[in-house]
Structure 1
Amino acid sequence: MSGSDTGHGPGGPLSAYSLDELRGRHSAKWREYPPEVLPVWVAEMDTPLAEPIAAALAAAIARGDTGYAVACGLPEAFAGFAARRFGWHTDPAAMRLVPDVMAGILEVLHLVTEPGDRVVVNTPAYPPYFYWLPRIGRQVVQSPLALGPDGYRLDLSALERDFAAGAAAFLLCNPHNPTGLVLTEEDLLAVAALADRYGVRVVSDEIHAPLVYAGARHVPFPSLDAPAAARSIAIVSASKAWNLAGLKAALAVPGPEARRDLARIDAEVSESSGMFGVIASEAAFTAGEPWLEALMAGLAANRALLGDLLAERLPGAGYQPPQATYLAWLDLRALGLGDDPAEWFLRRGAVALYSGLKFGAPGRGFARFNFGTSAELVADAVGRMAASLDGRSHTARTGALDAL
């Protein structure tokens, strides 16, 4: 299908591009590995831009609007989206523009913790947490989620143990990457109670909040009726839901008692954001919901398709459909491929998953699979994985992988 399709066809935005068209992209997803490799690793989707975003960017180019970034109407746009989507009413004047969610997390932790402080994260966890927090002098404390037959859940006893041991902050990831867990309001209130008891500041990474499936509901942490929530700060962005990661814009959104903390973010931080990121994000939050609904329909279909394909072709793979995101956290321990099954599938199947080892200790034997692509490529990836185990590895493709 031609890339001119803006996502209103039968497959929605995910079916807009052919494999050849995708291979022409310059992004990390499509340039990290040789052309023989099918990439389903990093959190980029294979979609066109939503029409309102494309129009806003085209207009900006036409007027040469490529200067330093300021927030413009982005806080107001997000406030409207949050009210419609989550019933969260927040003050745009209290928000601060940051270059991206990770940069926002680091700036906020600079404000609310001290060098050497302990920051708790639920593992498996987003890999950049392990890289960036030590670089700003904070200690990462891994607090594993509990894994049961029905998937992952928050382990409150483990969290209390880690808070009581002297944590200064809790970096909450909700919806959770990589498991796709969406915490209930009851869970979040329990977190808030523990944070109040032990004097822990909560910083909430809510980048995947727009990508929640039917049956789950996203509750922004600062919206809770609890003192810890009032002192919390959430970091939000349009980047994952509308595929804008390269354009660089996010918002830090405070609870009512955290406004003074957030006001201390220097203007230089905001100016490191991208003007196109601000323009695109404002358009996404203002006029991008119809596109988002079409996307979610396609993602829901792919989420089910992946389960069916794994059951048929890789029955030893453990898979719990995520409640949010377009990322599947696959338990591949039963396949006997060692601690890093992603390495096997890359070399033997020419399919690139995200190695579970990068997500902390609980990631041994796991890998992350990005199904934010066409149904055909989801099927191709699973087919390659299955063939590699059947002894029918893609030898014609893997010759170029020897140097990896």
Structure 2
Amino acid sequence: MNRTPHAPSGEPNPLRVLSPADLRRRTSMKWRTHPADVLPLWVAEMDVPQPEPVVRAVTDALALGDTGYPVGTAYAEALAAFAAKRWGWDGLAVERTALVPDVMLGAVEMLKLVTGPGDPVIVSPPVYPPFFQFVTHMDRRVVRAPLGADLRLDLGALDEAFRRAVAGGGRAAYLLCSPQNPTGTVHTAAELAAVAELADRHGVRVVADEIHAPLVAAGADFVPYLSVPGGERGLSLMSASKGWNLAGLKAALAVAGPEAAADLARLPAEAADGASHLGVIAHTAALRDAGPWLDALLAGLDDNRRLLAGLLAEHLPAIRCRPGRATYLAWLDCRALGLGDDPAQVFLERGRVALSSGPPFGEGGAGHARLNLGTSPELLTEAVRRMTEAVR
């Protein structure tokens, strides 16, 4: 597959545009959950302005009063073109897509298509906490196949988990996080093909959460699950939400492999009702017209990864942090600091820095914290300074 590599875009680094005063005016979760003296580097919102094409598309719609219900395939067409250009994948067929409200609600709908009440859903912790919550709330049973010590997929653990999941003769699914949140691991084509082979051997259906796909580091390649041999029976959830900071404008797409088209066709019509028309407009504009902004962001995130690694090596060398190859998140192993299972709570109470607590991410989460790199270098530096003071 021929991919478009990162290239200088001429756009300013979006992470350097907004001041702390600007950010404090925001009313969303990241900046309003904690008191004003807390520096928030936790929930997955970035400290960036929107790219001009997205702002223009949404404001033009508002000026027209174009605030009704979504219709059409513009979003899917924009995603297909983005996938072909960025990932060298021309297998995203618009006719095998469906609009869903967001990635996690879409994942729930996909799991309903391929499993029934009480059936097992395999997950690979440490992983995004809603994987556990949503699966449990939809009356499915979580089966765990933890990542290996190298924070990569453990194919042996998956083989065993798949075997156990189908031992009773029922249906089972694997909810794959790709790229992995919180570790930033980018699964290789060989790893994903091995997952597909295991899934086919055991009769397990794969549902891939690929929301962080646009956010890969320089030199890393995102591989769509549906593009690998054996991925034809898979289902994927994709969105511009994370790449362009659009969580408040809800819209996502479910994508089916060629052999899963009949499953996707059974998606209830009401499953799309929660998607926002303005969200669809915003996501379409981001994918179609805001590539240079994304390139500038990716370069800024690469800089922040290097900055964080240097700051930790200098000030908090006891924290182990393998730089992720995707997402804007960093997975901090704080066990050597002796702060207990939830070091994020210590950094919040003593340092007034909000990180995401590790234990909710499942096995491998105790003693860890997740840090959001999607901020300015200045705020990132201040956060590490506060964290250092907190453990003195």
Relative to structure 1, the CA distance from residue 71 to residue 124 in structure 2 (aligned partners, 3 Å threshold; closer, same or farther) is: farther
* TM-score, normalised via structure 1 length: 0.92
- How far residue 267 of structure 1 moved from its aligned partner, in angstroms, is 2.0
Counterpart amino acid of 1:287? Answer: D
Paired residue for 1:162? 161
Paired residue for 2:26? 25
Counterpart amino acid of 1:158? Answer: A
**Aligned residue runs from structure 1 range 82-231, under 5 A:** 82-89=83-90, 90-148=92-150, 152-167=151-166, 168-226=172-230, 229-231=231-233
Paired residue for 2:292? 290
Give the Cα separation in 1 of the matches to 2:71 and 2:46: 27
- How far residue 95 of structure 1 moved from its aligned partner, in angstroms, is 0.4
Counterpart amino acid of 1:17? Answer: L
- How far residue 324 of structure 1 moved from its aligned partner, in angstroms, is 0.3
Give the Cα separation in 1 of the matches to 2:209 and 2:274: 19
Paired residue for 2:312? 310
- How far residue 361 of structure 1 moved from its aligned partner, in angstroms, is 2.5
Counterpart amino acid of 1:164? Answer: R
1:299-335 CA-to-partner distances (Å, cap 9, x unmatched) read 0000100000011111100001101000000000000
- How far residue 386 of structure 1 moved from its aligned partner, in angstroms, is 0.2
- How far residue 71 of structure 1 moved from its aligned partner, in angstroms, is 4.4
Counterpart amino acid of 2:163? Answer: A
Where structure 1 has 5 or more consecutive residues not aligned to the other structure, the ranges are 1-6, 391-404
**Aligned residue runs from structure 1 range 10-21, under 5 A:** 12-21=13-22
Corresponding residue SS for 2:321 = coil
1:317-358 CA-to-partner distances (Å, cap 9, x unmatched) read 000110100000000000000000000000000000000011
Give the Cα separation in 1 of the matches to 2:69 and 2:152: 42
* TM-score, normalised via structure 2 length: 0.95
Corresponding residue SS for 2:248 = helix
User: Would you say the 8 A contact 2:39–2:354 is kept in 1?
Assistant: yes
> Is 1:46 aligned to residue 47 of structure 2?
yes
Corresponding residue SS for 1:140 = strand
User: Would you say the 8 A contact 1:310–1:382 is kept in 2?
Assistant: yes
Give the Cα separation in 2 of the matches to 1:370 and 1:128: 17
Give the Cα separation in 2 of the matches to 1:318 and 1:384: 17
Give the Cα separation in 2 of the matches to 1:184 and 1:72: 30
Where structure 2 has 5 or more consecutive residues not aligned to the other structure, the ranges are 1-9, 167-171
Give the Cα separation in 1 of the matches to 2:382 and 2:165: 48
Give the Cα separation in 2 of the matches to 1:37 and 1:210: 29
Paired residue for 2:62? 61
Counterpart amino acid of 2:57? Answer: A
**Aligned residue runs from structure 1 range 267-286, under 5 A:** 267-286=269-288
Give the Cα separation in 2 of the matches to 1:309 and 1:66: 46
The match for 1:365 among 364, 367, 371 is: 367
Corresponding residue SS for 1:301 = helix
1:58-101 CA-to-partner distances (Å, cap 9, x unmatched) read 10011011112234411111111111111212211220000100
- How far residue 116 of structure 1 moved from its aligned partner, in angstroms, is 0.6
Give the Cα separation in 2 of the matches to 1:128 and 1:57: 29
Give the Cα separation in 2 of the matches to 1:335 and 1:71: 53
1:255-297 CA-to-partner distances (Å, cap 9, x unmatched) read 0011111111122221210111100010011111110000001
- How far residue 215 of structure 1 moved from its aligned partner, in angstroms, is 2.4
User: Would you say the 8 A contact 2:99–2:252 is kept in 1?
Assistant: yes
Counterpart amino acid of 1:68? Answer: Y
1:239-267 CA-to-partner distances (Å, cap 9, x unmatched) read 00000001100000100011111111122
Paired residue for 2:5? none
Give the Cα separation in 2 of the matches to 1:107 and 1:71: 20
Give the Cα separation in 2 of the matches to 1:260 and 1:174: 24
Counterpart amino acid of 1:165? Answer: R
User: Would you say the 8 A contact 1:71–1:278 is kept in 2?
Assistant: no
User: Would you say the 8 A contact 1:70–1:271 is kept in 2?
Assistant: no
User: Would you say the 8 A contact 2:182–2:329 is kept in 1?
Assistant: yes
Counterpart amino acid of 1:378? Answer: L
User: Would you say the 8 A contact 2:53–2:285 is kept in 1?
Assistant: yes
Paired residue for 2:11? 8
> Is 1:352 aligned to residue 354 of structure 2?
yes
User: Would you say the 8 A contact 1:70–1:270 is kept in 2?
Assistant: no
Counterpart amino acid of 1:127? Answer: P
Give the Cα separation in 2 of the matches to 1:8 and 1:223: 31
User: Would you say the 8 A contact 2:347–2:354 is kept in 1?
Assistant: yes
The structure 1 segments of at least 4 consecutive aligned residues displaced by more than 4 Å after TM superposition are: none
Corresponding residue SS for 2:70 = coil
Give the Cα separation in 2 of the matches to 1:369 and 1:352: 8
Give the Cα separation in 1 of the matches to 2:268 and 2:176: 24
User: Would you say the 8 A contact 1:69–1:270 is kept in 2?
Assistant: no
- How far residue 130 of structure 1 moved from its aligned partner, in angstroms, is 1.3
Cα RMSD of the aligned pairs, angstroms, is 1.0
User: Would you say the 8 A contact 1:70–1:97 is kept in 2?
Assistant: no
Give the Cα separation in 2 of the matches to 1:77 and 1:45: 23
Paired residue for 1:401? none
- How far residue 45 of structure 1 moved from its aligned partner, in angstroms, is 0.3
Paired residue for 1:395? none
- How far residue 157 of structure 1 moved from its aligned partner, in angstroms, is 0.6
